Chain A
Amino acid sequence: MPKKYLKIVVFLIIAGGFLSAGIIHARTNEVVVYVSEDQVFSEPILKDFEKETGIKVKALYDTEEAKSTGVMNRLLAEKNNPQADVYWANEPIRAEYLKQEGISQAYISASAKAIPDGLKDPDNYWTGFSARARVFIVNQRAPEKPHSVADYTDPRFKGKAMIANPLFGTTTTQMAALFTLWGDEKGKTFMENMKKNGVKLSTSNGESADFVASGNFDFSLVDSDDVFNRIKQGKDVEIIYPDQGENEPGCFMVPNAVLFIKGSPNSENGKKLIDYLLSRETERKLAFADCAQIPLNPGVETPPEIKAIRTLKVMKVDYAEVAKKMREIQSFLKEWAR
């Protein structure tokens, strides 16, 4: 074949390859899920789904660096041409945000029936499952131990406490929840006093947990799975559920939340995945995994160290209100974090 024609043929083959990749991408039996829950915990669940249903799962995970918001940005940027079918959020506030931005659509899963009303969207745009509690990780050698979030402003703990950057992740959510509970003035005062009491900022819950475990700080607010993880690694730390006393608000719960994406390219498979994630079996697996998450379905088997949700004093909040509050206090948090 003359050389010039050979070049054209090679070019067409390569171009054809790209085109087919795009077409094949649309046609195979698959579901695309964006995941903010740590890959270490979420991937086994998704692989089990794949095995049990034969539906290929294509997952996109968040990274520590993106602080659980990288995937959010992708969903927002892809709004006009969604690539994902399902979003597995690691907390409900961003699920609320996506609902408000028109990214998600309503879906009532049969698996969601038994999940408490306060932990799912009344309009069925998201459903909570397998929760973490916002708890203290405390170094066992700390001379004094905190019991309330308000201890961040206690002079006893001056310079000994750490908190993850409140601009990101579950820390933002918790701050927004406190503002919802206390009102803006008390919330701002609390944060200013926290700063005056020498609180140090880390870049993530994981980093906070590591700094406490290594003895640099006495305690930090983190997610319960961060503590269980360090305990399993043999670190010298313990877990304290804050604000469990009378007249105290209880600890803030952060359930995972699953959403059905509007314009989902594989909607039937997306619904199947949502049903699977909300199932009792998934909650059981997540309870027994290192993340040690608290099931929301009643009667799900859990390991002994996990407190059943009914035994905990849980902060009563409206997540939609918390989501709204989060947007309102963003500028304040940004200033505070500088």
Chain B
Amino acid sequence: MAKRLTLLFFVVLFLIIGLVPIAAMFLKTIYVDGHFTLRLYRALFDSSREWGLVGNSVMLAFFVTAAALSAGIPLGVVLSKTDLPFKSIFTFLFTIPLLLPPYITAIAWSYWVKKEIWFFGLPGCVLILSISFLPIVMFLTMAYLKSVNPGIEEAGKLLSGWFGVLKNITIPAIMPGILLSAVLVFLLTLGEFSVPNFLRYKVFSNESFTQFSAFYDFNAATVSTMPLLLIAFVILLFEAIFLHRKTQESYGMTPDSDRFLVIELKSSKKWIVILLSLASFILIVLPFAALVREALNLGILREALEKAGDSLLRSISYAGIGASILTVIGFFLGYLIYKKALPGWRGVDMLTLFFLALPSAVTGIGLIGFWNRPATNFIYGTPAIIILGYVACYTVLTSRMTISGLSQISSSIEEAAEISGIKWWRRVFGVLVPLMKRGLLASWLIAYIFCLRDVGVTMAVYPPAHDTLPIRIFTLMANASGSLIAGLCLIMILSTLLPFSLFMLSVPKKGMA
């Protein structure tokens, strides 16, 4: 009873925060001027140009996903499963783009690339977004690698070298994690607007933005998200039907084991260090060096800190609160989905992914429409509305990480507690949570990064005088000097790095050759 009630509570909470406002918005698109009509939808699908834009969006998402996977998987393997030196430094470098809104990475590159024609268009978008989302693939690969049973790798090593083991045993074993990262990258790219807009590559998410900004037509803007949502729905269906069983399979080590096989690179170590150094230098260091060079001046940094002002503290505290709430909600929804604890669990899972795909402008307007009433001013007029925005958009990250964590714990661990007469709440906090400590911390950190760098939904709903640092950067961007913007970006990177570094320091090193 306690289990059902608690899980139901969190489902209802998530529905109120996310689904109800958005559903209300979509209802308005079919109930216009007092009667039901599909006029807006018909208009959308009548135009061939719209389908061209949809094609552009899908193409961009496909290329970005392919690029992020191609680089992120080997990177994840090399940085977690080998004896490569300077692993922490490389991990840190390749993580930097994830800590900033992709728009800022585009700006950093534009300082460096300047007049290059190729940058403005599909190639530039693919470059920027794959660099921005590559860390998602990298981190998920690293996390899932930790859960591979070393016994199956050892069995493989008797028959083949490491390349064969990775290709035939390890990578297939972590396929659920890889596919999850692919889905996340695809959906994030599909909904991305700012980078294609900056690099003048026409994608469908522009359409939604145009309807909002130029025509103030909320209904048309909502309808314009349909094609993207249909694509997202197809991907979710594919995931639900074909991958569901795979995501439930566990190749878990029991958590008390310290064994983790490490690949000795031997003679190739030097070359891999050189390759990674070159890659990180060209892709990350050079563009961001332009930012750092602009900002590395005490006067500039002082001015940046002054301009950042209270927005920096707000960013950190809202991101911290958002991450904490997301971790809790994500934990219970992840538990519900993994254990199939209530009917409709699959719908909950799909909904969380759906909200990630929904353009943040639509989410924002939905939240305003629902919460902006005198009776709920204590939410709408306060930073609580920003937190609700975070929850609506990013619950999928923490719920999926919970599922990943739970899949590494044998089901008999909870069953043993069950049959020992231990009630559900005690099982959760006495057994599951302690065993998932590291995973929950990682979950919090991912949520923190996404909340901190969020622009879309924050911009749509933040109450006056509650702007966050990314919003402050955007508002100042029109007229502030390049150095000041660079200084603000640097502060943003550092404010994200602090908990990230603390987390990396707190995680014990794990491995044996």
Give bound CA distance, A81 to B376, whole Å: 11
Contact call B216/A76, Cβ cutoff below 8 A: yes
Chain B count of residues within 8 A CB distance of the other chain:
46
> Are B372 and A338 interface neighbours, CB within 8 A?
no
CA A5 to CA B374, docked complex, whole Å: 31
Contact A83 B49 (CB under 8 A): no
Chain A count of residues within 8 A CB distance of the other chain: 56
Q: Determine whether A109 belongs to the interface, using a CB cutoff of 8 Å to chain B.
A: no
B354 within 8 A of A: no
Q: Given B218, B379, B462, B477, which contacts A22 in the complex, CB threshold below 8 Å?
A: B379
Given A67-B213, A334-B210, A338-B49, residue A290 in contact with residue B103 (CB < 8 A): no
Is the CB–CB distance between B373 and A81 below 8 Å? yes
B 142-187 contacts with A by CB, 8 A: none
The answer, yes or no, to whether B504 is at the interface (CB within 8 Å) is no
Please name the residue on chain B nearest to A331 by beta carbon.
B215
Q: Find residues 425-470 in chain B having any chain A CB closer than 8 Å to their own CB.
A: 455, 459-460, 462-465, 467
Asked whether B280 is an interface residue with its Cβ less than 8 Å from the other chain, the reply is: no
The answer, among A26, A33, A204, A233, for a CB contact under 8 Å with B478, is A204
Whole-angstrom CA separation of A172 from B114 in the bound complex: 27
Q: Which of A35-43, A111-119, A134-142, A308-316 contacts B (4 or more CB under 8 A)?
A: A35-43
CB closest chain-B residue, reference A21: B382
Q: Is the CB of A39 within 8 A of B194?
A: no
User: Are B477's CB and A64's CB within 8 A?
Assistant: yes
* Segment of A53-61, A187-195, A298-306 in the binding face: A53-61
Q: How many A-B contacts are there with CB distance less than 8 Å?
A: 133
A214 in contact with B478 (CB, 8 Å): no
Say if the beta carbon of B1 comes within 8 Å of chain A: no
CB-nearest residue of chain A to B371? A81
Which residues in A have their C-beta under 8 angstroms from that of B216?
69, 72-73, 76, 97
Interface status of B16 (Cβ within 8 A of chain A): no
A163 at the interface (CB under 8 A from B): no
Report yes or no: B369 in contact with A77, Cβ–Cβ below 8 A: yes
**Cα of A58 to Cα of B478 in the assembled complex, Å:** 21
What's the nearest-Cβ distance from chain B to residue A183, in Å?
23
Q: Is A78 an interface residue (CB 8 A)?
A: yes
What separation, in Å, do the CA atoms of A207 and B467 have in the docked complex?
23
Q: Are B464 and A33 in contact (CB under 8 A)?
A: yes
Q: Which of B374, B377, B467, B478 has the most CB of A within 10 A?
A: B478
Residues of chain B whose beta carbon lies under 8 Å from any beta carbon of chain A: 49, 103, 114-115, 194, 197-198, 200, 202, 210, 212-216, 218, 365, 368-369, 372-374, 377-382, 384, 455, 459-460, 462-465, 467, 471, 474-481
- The 3 nearest A-B residue pairs measured at CB: A22-B378, A63-B474, A58-B464
* Chain A interface residues (CB < 8 Å from chain B): 18-19, 21-23, 25-26, 32-34, 38-41, 57-67, 69-70, 72-74, 76-78, 80-81, 83-84, 97, 167-168, 172, 201, 203-204, 206, 214, 216, 225, 229, 233, 290-291, 330, 333-334, 338
Interface pairs (6), CB distance under 8 Å: A73-B216, A78-B372, A80-B372, A83-B464, A167-B214, A333-B214
